[in-house]
C-alpha cells in the first residue's frame, strides 16, 4: 500500500518536473519577439491592458510590482503608444479593489480618468486577457506587466485569437520577487493546462463595453457647411506635413470606433478637411483659384510663394484626387519641378484650367476619395461641455473686438481666461505636465512662423483632452501669438465668430518679427 502511494508521488514529481521546462519553453516561444522594454520601439495599439496585482504587500508597504506597472502604463500612454487603458484585476470582495487602485494611481500620474476603463472581473490572467476581447471588444492589445507575466499573458492571448504584444514594466529586485518568480513557474504550467487540456474559460463574462467616444457624427446638411467654413479658412492651415500618409490615416480611421479622437490633432483646418473626405472636395476644387496670400504651411519652406489655391490642391492630393499639372503643363510627371508648378499656375488662366480639370474628374468619379470617417446622422451622445445660447452670444460679441497685433493680456481682457494654453521653449515641470495633457495647439510648423504661444477657447467640447479635440464636433477658437507678443491669426470653427488670418506677407512679417522684419 505504502509502496504504491510512494510510487504515485514519485510519478507525480516526475511529471511536474518535466512539465515545468516544457511549459516554460511553450510560453517563451509564443511570446518571442512580442515584448518590448523601450517605449520608443513600441508599435501603436489602440488599447493597453494593465494586469493587476495588490497595491500593498502583506506588511503594508507599497508593492514594487504594482508601482512599476503603473509607471510603465503611464509612460506608454504619454508616449502616444496607446489611447486607452483597461485596468484589470481582482475585486471579489468590496474591501479589495485592484482596478480602482490602479485607476487612482494612473490619474495621479496625469492619465485622464476618461481614458481608463475598469475590469473588475480580472480574477486571473486568463480572465483579464479573454475579457479584453469578449467584453471590451479588442482584437489587438498591448499588455502591461513585468516580462515574465507578459510572456504568459501573450501565450494565453494567442490561443484565444488575440493579437497581443507586451510592454515590460521594470523588473523587481530578486530578493523582493523570489516568491512571485517561483509561483510564476507553476502558473505557466497551469496556463498550458488551461489551453491544451482544461479549455478553461473566464469565471465571468457579461455585458459588452465599448471603449472610446462615439464616432464623430454630423447631420447630413452639416458636413458640407463645415467643409465650406474650413475651405474659407485655408489661410489658417498652418501645418502641411510632407510625411503625412493618407492611406495609413484612412486605415487607422476605419479600424477604430472614434476616429480622430484616437490621435492628436496636427492642424485643425487640415484635419477637418481630410476627415470630411469627399464632402470637402467640391469646395476645395472651388478654391483652386483662390489667390489669397498665406503663410507657407510646409515643414520645410521650399520654392514658390504659396496662395490658398495651392494649399487646396495639396489637400485634394491627400484626399485622393490625382495630379493633373504635368498633363496640363505638357510635362512628364517625373521631371516636373516644384518651381515649374508655381510658374505655370501664376500664368494666364491656368488656375481656371486646373479647376476645370479637377471638377471634370470629380464628376466622372462621384465615389472619389472613399467614405468620410464620420457618420452623417444626428449625434446620439452629449458633449462634455457646451455654452448656453446666451453665453455663446456673449462670446461672439467679445471676439468681434479681437484684432491682429494685440498682445496676450489685451486678448484676455476682452475674451477672458482661455481654457488652455500652449507654449514653445523651455517649461517648468508643472508646465510640461500640463503640456503633455493638452498638446497640439502649436504644431510642427510653428517654429518657422515664430509663433510660440497659443490660447484655446471652447464653445462646445466632446472630449476632455485638449490635444485630442475633434475639429469636426468641437467648436472652438484658437489664437496664435508671435515671439514679438503679437496676435498673428485666429482659427474659428464657431458660426458667427470670424477667423483672422494674414492678409499679405508684409503685415504677417511685421506681426512675427516687429520692425526687424524690414531686414529679413
The CATH number of residue 417's host domain is: 3.30.1450.10
One domain for residues 274 and 347:
yes
One domain for residues 403 and 355:
no
Q: How many helices (H) and strands (E) does the chain have?
A: 19, 13
The answer to whether position 3 is within a domain reads no
One domain for residues 96 and 121:
yes
Contact 227, 280 (CB under 8 A): yes
CA 62 → CA 53, 57, 105, 120, 292, distances in Å? Answer: 11, 6, 12, 21, 62
One domain for residues 61 and 149:
yes
One domain for residues 178 and 238:
no
Containing domain of residue 257, as a range? 217-376
Contact 472, 276 (CB under 8 A): yes
φ/ψ of 479, rounded to 5, equals: -115, 140
Cut 0.85: pTM above it = no
Q: What angle do CA 210, 214, 218 make, to 5 degrees?
A: 160
Per DSSP, helices labelled H in 109-146 are: 125-134
One domain for residues 301 and 416:
no
φ/ψ of 44, rounded to 5, equals: -80, 130
One domain for residues 179 and 263:
no
Q: Looking at 376, 400, 419, which one is the last position of a domain?
A: 376
Q: Looking at 350, 376, 402, which one is the last position of a domain?
A: 376
The answer to whether position 504 is within a domain reads yes
One domain for residues 406 and 337:
no
- Sequence-distant (6+) residues with CB within 8 A of 376 are 217, 218, 219, 220, 223
Residue 5: per-residue pLDDT: 54
Residue 482: per-residue pLDDT: 92
The answer to whether position 209 is within a domain reads no
The answer to whether position 7 is within a domain reads no
As averages over each run of 10 residues, the pLDDT of the chain (520 residues) reads: 52 51 82 92 93 88 93 92 92 78 93 89 92 91 94 94 95 75 78 84 82 66 88 90 64 45 72 88 95 85 79 91 88 76 87 94 84 56 80 95 95 94 62 48 76 92 79 90 93 94 90 68
Residue 293: per-residue pLDDT: 92
One domain for residues 393 and 369:
no
Total count of domains within the chain: 3
The answer to whether position 212 is within a domain reads no
Residue 229 CA to residue 276 CA, distance in Å, equals: 12
Q: Looking at 332, 348, 376, which one is the last position of a domain?
A: 376
Residue 376: per-residue pLDDT: 58
Per DSSP, helices labelled H in 41-166 are: 64-78, 98-108, 125-134, 147-158
The answer to whether position 208 is within a domain reads no
One domain for residues 303 and 332:
yes
The answer to whether position 461 is within a domain reads yes
Residue 241 CA to residue 444 CA, distance in Å, equals: 8
Residue 480 CA to residue 488 CA, distance in Å, equals: 6
Closest by Cα among 149, 166, 164 to 38: 166
Query: What 3-state DSSP class applies to 78?
Result: helix
Residue 429: per-residue pLDDT: 42
One domain for residues 440 and 337:
no
The answer to whether position 234 is within a domain reads yes
- Environment class of residue 390 by beta-carbon count within 10 Å: exposed (0-12), middle (13-18) or buried (19+)? exposed
One domain for residues 369 and 389:
no
Amino acid at each position: 500500500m505504502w509502496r504504491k502511494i510512494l510510487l504515485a508521488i514519485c510519478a507525480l514529481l516526475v511529471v511536474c518536473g518535466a512539465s515545468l521546462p516544457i511549459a516554460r519553453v511553450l510560453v517563451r516561444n509564443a511570446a518571442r519577439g512580442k515584448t518590448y522594454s523601450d517605449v520608443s520601439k513600441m508599435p501603436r495599439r489602440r488599447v493597453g491592458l494593465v494586469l493587476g496585482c495588490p497595491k500593498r504587500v502583506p506588511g503594508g508597504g507599497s508593492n514594487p510590482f504594482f508601482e512599476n506597472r503603473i509607471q510603465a502604463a503611464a509612460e506608454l500612454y504619454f508616449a502616444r503608444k496607446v489611447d486607452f487603458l483597461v485596468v484589470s484585476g481582482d475585486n471579489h470582495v468590496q474591501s479589495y479593489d485592484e482596478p480602482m487602485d490602479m485607476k487612482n494611481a494612473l490619474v495621479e500620474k496625469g492619465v485622464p480618468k476618461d481614458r481608463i476603463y475598469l475590469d473588475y472581473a480580472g480574477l486571473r490572467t486568463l480572465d483579464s486577457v479573454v475579457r479584453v476581447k469578449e467584453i471590451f471588444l479588442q482584437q489587438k492589445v498591448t499588455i502591461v506587466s513585468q516580462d515574465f507575466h507578459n510572456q504568459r499573458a501573450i501565450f494565453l492571448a494567442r490561443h484565444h485569437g488575440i493579437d497581443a504584444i507586451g510592454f515590460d514594466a521594470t523588473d523587481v529586485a530578486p530578493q523582493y520577487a523570489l516568491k512571485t518568480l517561483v509561483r510564476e513557474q507553476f502558473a505557466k504550467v497551469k496556463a498550458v493546462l488551461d489551453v491544451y487540456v482544461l479549455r478553461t474559460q473566464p469565471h465571468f463574462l457579461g455585458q459588452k463595453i465599448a471603449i472610446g467616444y462615439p464616432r464623430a457624427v454630423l447631420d447630413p446638411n452639416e458636413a458640407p457647411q463645415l467643409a465650406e467654413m474650413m475651405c474659407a479658412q485655408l489661410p489658417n492651415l498652418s501645418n502641411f506635413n510632407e510625411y503625412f500618409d493618407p492611406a495609413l490615416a484612412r486605415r487607422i480611421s476605419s479600424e477604430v470606433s472614434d476616429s480622430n479622437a484616437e490621435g492628436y490633432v496636427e492642424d485643425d483646418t487640415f484635419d477637418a478637411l481630410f476627415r470630411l473626405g469627399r464632402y470637402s472636395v467640391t469646395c476645395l476644387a472651388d478654391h483652386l483659384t483662390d489667390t489669397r496670400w498665406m503663410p507657407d504651411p510646409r515643414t520645410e519652406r521650399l520654392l514658390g510663394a504659396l496662395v490658398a489655391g495651392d494649399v487646396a490642391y495639396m489637400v485634394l492630393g491627400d484626399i485622393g484626387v490625382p495630379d493633373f499639372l504635368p498633363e496640363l503643363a505638357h510635362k512628364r510627371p517625373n521631371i516636373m519641378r516644384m518651381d515649374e508648378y508655381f510658374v505655370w499656375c501664376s500664368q494666364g488662366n491656368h488656375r481656371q484650367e486646373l479647376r476645370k480639370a479637377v471638377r471634370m474628374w470629380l464628376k466622372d468619379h462621384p465615389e472619389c476619395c472613399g467614405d468620410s470617417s464620420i457618420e452623417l446622422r444626428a449625434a446620439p451622445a452629449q458633449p462634455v461641455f457646451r455654452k448656453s445660447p446666451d453665453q455663446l452670444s456673449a462670446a461672439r460679441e467679445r471676439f468681434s473686438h479681437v484684432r491682429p497685433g494685440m498682445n496676450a493680456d489685451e486678448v484676455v481682457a476682452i475674451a477672458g481666461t482661455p481654457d488652455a494654453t500652449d507654449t514653445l521653449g523651455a517649461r517648468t515641470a508643472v508646465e510640461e505636465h500640463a503640456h503633455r495633457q493638452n498638446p497640439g495647439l502649436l504644431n510642427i510648423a510653428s517654429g518657422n512662423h515664430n509663433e510660440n504661444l497659443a490660447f484655446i477657447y471652447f464653445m462646445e467640447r466632446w472630449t476632455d483632452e485638449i490635444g485630442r479635440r475633434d475639429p469636426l464636433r468641437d467648436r472652438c477658437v484658437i489664437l496664435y501669438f508671435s515671439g514679438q507678443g503679437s496676435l498673428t491669426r485666429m482659427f474659428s470653427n464657431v458660426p458667427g465668430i470670424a477667423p483672422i488670418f494674414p492678409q499679405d506677407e508684409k503685415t504677417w512679417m511685421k506681426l512675427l518679427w516687429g520692425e526687424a522684419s524690414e531686414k529679413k
